[in-house]
Amino acid sequence: MFPVLLWGAGKDSIQVLSRPEQYLYAPEKFFTAVYNNPATHFFAHESSLTRLSIYSTYNKKNGTYLLQEGNGGQLFGADVSSWLNLSGKTKVWGNASYITGKKRQIKWNETSDFELLYPYVMADTIGGDQQTEQYRFSGGYSGKGRLFTWGLQAAYRSKIEYRDRDPRPKNVVSDFNIEAGGSVHTGPLYILGVAGGIRIYNQDNVLDFYSPNGNVYIHTMTGLGTTYSRFTGDKTDVLYKGFGYQAGLQWLPVKGNGWRLTAQYDRLDIDRHLKSHNNLALTRLNDSRIKGSIGYRYYNGYHRSAVKATGLYMHRKGIENLFGNGTGNIYDQIGSRSPYLDKHIHFRFEGLYGQSYSNRFSWFLQPYAAIHQMNTTYSENQRQIKINRITYGVNAEIDKQYRKSFFQASFGTSYTQTGNSLLSLTGLDMQSTMGQMMQNNYDWLQANKIQTHTGIHWETEIKENWSIYAETNYKYIHYRNEGNYQHVEITCGVCF
């Protein structure tokens, strides 16, 4: 499918350097959520563009950091993305990417996709560097009738992560999404979109030991420093199987100024099976998320302005299945309990104002403020972590087109302050390795921080409808009394 998309790129003859306004300018990236529906994605752009790029990223964390995600690493990748206007009634898009590299000093986690699966990961106190390799493919189609649009899109991600010394995880991930949608003109000014889809997730999480000195103690984590003690110690083969679904609404103007609204519900249930015990379903994670946004865009002459509010509510419930005495490695389930609960509430308010002069020069400012509340509990042991944060920030962007070249510079800074936080780990020895891990992660979560980032993008036309580009991005975060984080990314590529 993807070679067909690339072959069709020549159908749109608009000059390649006129396209950054549709793809790169801050105002055009301000309301991207309304185009997540494959049917409304029909209206995302007007002209076609294909980008081929290679890139490298390097990041380093000093001081305190989230141990389960490591203290940095280096990745290399290649990416091909295309959005094609085949006709006034047909749009197609696709993406293929590959990433490889190393993640450094991961501890208390031998499972991939930690952000998706926590707290139900397999862990040990040794850890170390991990090699990672990931492929991702996606594509979509959207068609248009007189008053309707319809669309279909799908994505597949495959990843393998491993280590070449004990303990030796070999994690194989497959993650598939498919979504269908439709939209209808509700009148001369607005479009209503509806979409829904499913997700299928699997991870084979296997740990091997080659040392003659014996295995490392493996913790079957259940949240806030607790483990499933009955199945902890030598359980090294785990299978994660997940199924999810999502549904969403979008409201957007047919063209130009007006209101934009989104609402979406996502649900994902993931079971953790012990392969060595006849695929015993040990735990289940129920992850539910409600998110939405509302905003208004107003363009008048060379003035560009917009406002937006977004919100997210996340509810993660952990279920531990209970079993009777095993006979012949067969365990009968006798009940279940739900001691783990992780709730997040996030609101963000932001504005945009700038001026754009005939695609030759533009500037934009984006101030914003956000609040985030996190409350994680484990009722069996009366344990709790509570974090409350508020963030203020501003982003700035300058765009300049000169002859056959386009230049973009961006800068942003923000300050995050944490208040009214709580760490209560009843019954846990804070001097133990488990206690030290929990204290470390809490210190990182509740630290005040200052963040800055800069970016430069340069692009020049080399022939009609073809350009080459290079960009670099740098991010720095200083955590008060807890260290810092640095991230560098360098990209180059070709557009047509």
SS (H, E, C) the chain: CHHHHHHHHHHCCCCHHHCHHHHCCHHHHCCHHHHCCCCHHHHCCCCCEEEEEEEEEEEEEEECCCHHHCCEEEEEEEEEEEEEEEECCEEEEEEEEEEEEEEEEECCCCCCCHHHHCCCCEECCCCEEEEEEEEEEEEEEEEECCCEEEEEEEEEEEEEEECCCCCEEEEEEEEEEEEEEEEEECCCCEEEEEEEEEEEEEEEEEEECCCCCCCCCEEEEEECCEECHHHCECCCEEEEEEEEEEEEEEEEECCCCEEEEEEEEEEEEEEEEEHHHCCEEEEEEEEEEEEEEEEEEEEECCEEEEEEEEEEEEEEEEEEEEECCCECCECCEEEEEEEEEEEEEEEEEEEEEEEEECCCEEEEEEEEEEEEEEEEEECCCCEEEEEEEEEEEEEEEEEEEECCEEEEEEEEEEEEEEEEEEEEECCCCCCCHHHHHHHHHHHHHHCCEEEEEEEEEEEEEEECCEEEEEEEEEEEEEECCCEEEEEEEEEEEEEC
What's the pLDDT at 47? 86
pLDDT by residue, tens only, the chain of 496 residues: 333 334 344 444 456 667 777 788 899 899 999 999 999 999 998 889 999 999 999 999 999 999 999 999 999 999 999 999 998 899 999 999 999 999 999 999 999 999 999 999 999 999 999 999 999 999 999 999 989 999 999 999 999 999 999 899 999 999 999 999 999 999 889 999 999 999 999 999 999 888 777 667 899 999 999 999 888 887 779 999 999 999 999 999 998 899 999 999 999 999 999 998 889 999 999 999 999 999 999 999 999 999 999 999 999 999 999 999 877 778 889 999 999 999 999 999 999 999 998 768 999 999 999 999 999 999 998 999 999 999 999 999 999 988 889 999 999 999 999 999 999 999 999 999 999 999 999 999 999 999 999 999 999 999 888 999 999 999 999 999 889 999 999 999 999 8
- pTM, 2 dp: 0.93
What's the pLDDT at 6? 41
What's the pLDDT at 364? 97
